[in-house]
Structure 1
Amino acid sequence: MGDNNGAVPSAGAFDDVFAANAGYAADFSLAGLKPVAGRGLALVTCMDSRIEPLDMLGLEPGDAKILRNAGARVTDDTLRTLVLAVYLLGVERVLVLPHTRCKMASVPGDDAVHDLIQQEYGVDTRSLEFHTNSDQLGALGHDLERIRHHPLLPAGLPVAGAIYDVDTGRISPTDL
């Protein structure tokens, strides 16, 4: 087993999720589901646990490719994944969906997050880029343009942005 910075998994730390999987597997009904996006959708959204991507968009398993990260940002890895999804996994349209009250949009920048982690935990994270941006609509517009103008994605690929409200469940499309 690798070093993992000296961290050793706690015995039993995952027992609850492994036990829950036994019940899930007993009633498993997704066998044979094709690996393509059945409704041609790729969704880029935040990792926030208040977001239920399938339910909030009226989707079923297999309908969409869902890409999640802190802040719903279109990073280089997101673009890499979208290229694969478009050419190999049936994606024909992309929705970028950040949300209200996002921690990554509530700080003045990456330096604030680095400082907080350093002060609270003694860990220097400055080798990472967190892509924080307190101008959430500006960041969304930038991210939409990254997709629209990526040289490996098809010209004319439908790309849209919206904001998900974690307090009401409503999605507000943007005109960016």
Structure 2
Amino acid sequence: MDDAFDDLLTANRAYADDFDMQGFDGIARAGVAVVTCMDSRIDPLGMLGLKPGDAKILRNPGGRATERVLVGLVLGGTLLGVDRVLLVQHTRCAVATNSEEQLLTRVGEAAGQDAHWLAVEAISDQRRTLAEDVHKVASHPLVAEHVRVGGFLYDVDTGLLERVA
């Protein structure tokens, strides 16, 4: 084994020293699920004033309501206490500021092989995409009727959320 993860394991041991979520049942205490981008500038809990245990967090490139995300939201709404879903995309997102071709070319160049078989699903219009994803989640037959869904744009330069759908 190499030492590539040693710094993280050391940090984990320090984290575990003060760990206080023993016995937690996994129910979203604030009734919230957040679907957002994998971008490291986004702190899903912090931006909403929440803490660990309050929300279910699902992340992917672009913050899209993919088929696997829908599975998570179905489970969240039926079994894990979720009654509000925030779909959050963000400003200056690589998936929303580059075309599919640009992204696949860049990936291919970095990987040293053709990447055009990969579906990145670039976003050409975030507001339209958010509206479509809100509809996709809200109209899913297994997402509980009591679950409210909203689409938001997070500004990575100000930390503010804007409701757009």
Where on the TM-score scale, by shorter chain, does this alignment land: which range? over 0.9
2:96 aligned partner? 105
Q: Which residue of 1 aligns with 2:5?
A: 14
Task: Count the aligned residue pairs.
Answer: 165
Q: Which residue of 2 aligns with 1:170?
A: 160
Calculate percent identity across the aligned residue pairs.
45
**CA distance, structure 2, for counterparts of residue 59 and residue 171 of structure 1:** 14
Q: Give the Cα–Cα distance (whole angstroms) in 1 for the partners of residues 54 and 107 of structure 2.
A: 37
Superposed CA RMSD: 1.5
| Matching of residues 49-88 of structure 1 within 5 Å | 49-88=40-79
Question: How big is the shift at 1:87?
Answer: 1.2
- 1:41 deviates by 0.7
Q: Which amino acid aligns with 2:129?
A: A
Shift of 1:156: 5.1
Choose which of 110, 123, 140 in structure 1 pairs with 2:113: 123
Deviations 1:142-175 (A, max 9, x none): 111110111221235311011111111111111x
Where in structure 1 are there 5+ consecutive unaligned residues?
1-9
Q: Is the 8 A contact 2:77 2:147 kept in 1?
A: no
Mapped partners of 2:83, 2:145: distance in 1: 11
The equivalent of 2:128 in structure 1 is 138
**1:90 to partner: Cα distance:** 1.0
Q: Which residue of 1 aligns with 2:84?
A: 93
- Structure 1 runs of 4+ aligned residues shifted over 2 Å read 123-128, 154-157
Q: Is the 8 A contact 2:78 2:144 kept in 1?
A: no
1:41 aligns with 2:32: yes
TM-score under structure 1 length normalisation: 0.88
Aligned with residue 154 of structure 1, among 115, 132, 144: 144
CA contact (8 A) 1:44 1:73 kept: yes
Distance in 1 between residues matched to 2:49 and 2:25, nearest whole Å: 19
Contact 2:83 2:146 in 1 (8 A): no
CA distance in 1, matches of 2:146, 2:113: 43
Change (3 A) 1:97 1:13: same
1:45-80 deviation per Cα after TM superposition (whole angstroms, max 9, x unaligned)? 111111111111011211110111111011111101
Superposition deviation, residue 14 in structure 1: 0.7
Q: Distance in 1 between matches of 2:23 and 2:97?
A: 42
